[in-house]
Chains A and B, each alone.
Chain A
Amino acid sequence: DVKVTQSSRYLVKRTGEKVFLECVQDMDHENMFWYRQDPGLGLRLIYFSYDVKMKEKGDIPEGYSVSREKKERFSLILESASTNQTSMYLCASSLLSGSGANVLTFGAGSRLTVL
């Protein structure tokens, strides 16, 4: 089974702190994604990557950056956390092509609270 693992299930950080959210997948997927989930807004794409060292902005990239140094790992970075970044963060991966490209596999999510 494809597995996407997010390093932290719950985090509490203070305003201004630098925050790292880590995501690792074990099925050699090319694509990796970071989404943010808020009530009434659904999931919104922050960044995605289709290859090592490649990244593309999603719909809400402001205040975030990402890093993909290895194919299996995709990190989301909040350079200076703010209270409006309190949210659930979901990592996902998929194949780049073929029928498997149709399905995103998600991690369990990381719930971040910024005080």
Chain B
Amino acid sequence: AQKITQTQPGMFVQEKEAVTLDCTYDTSDPSYGLFWYKQPSSGEMIFLIYQGSYDQQNATEGRYSLNFQKARKSANLVISASQLGDSAMYFCAMREWETSGSRLTFGEGTQLTVNP
């Protein structure tokens, strides 16, 4: 079974609007972490935000927030006030501490385009 699923190959948003990128995951490990990375056209992966499975509150980093719904096994990324520079590929990833230690498993990615 796919461990990380991103069902939106491509998303479009108008500048200054908010956008939600979906991510669902599958694990039986009680201790896990969820990550979002951004990959601009230059190719380098940029870490955006992290949510631990035991964290009580949703993670936030500036304009990025992670909508963590543990029972639904979803970890959607919300980008508020989109900017042209947000156009990039976005990857959701998971680390299962007991099952696979330091390894990260990535989803297929979502290509976000911000229109002016």
What residues make up the interface of A, taking CB atoms closer than 8 Å to B? 31, 33, 35, 40-45, 48, 50, 58, 88, 90, 92, 94, 96, 101-109, 111
Contacts and interface: CB of A to CB of B under 8 A. Distances in A.
A96 B106 CA distance: 19
Contacts of A92: 45
A4 B113 CA distance: 28
Contacts, number: 54
Interface residues of B, number: 25
Classify the secondary structure of A's interface with B.
Answer: strand
A108 B43 contact: yes
B57 interface: no
Contacts of A45: 103-105
Contact of B108 (A42, A50, A88, A103): A42
Contacts of A90: 45
Interface in B73-116: 91, 93, 95, 101-109
**Which of B4, B95, B102, B105 has the largest number of chain A CB atoms within 10 A?**
B102
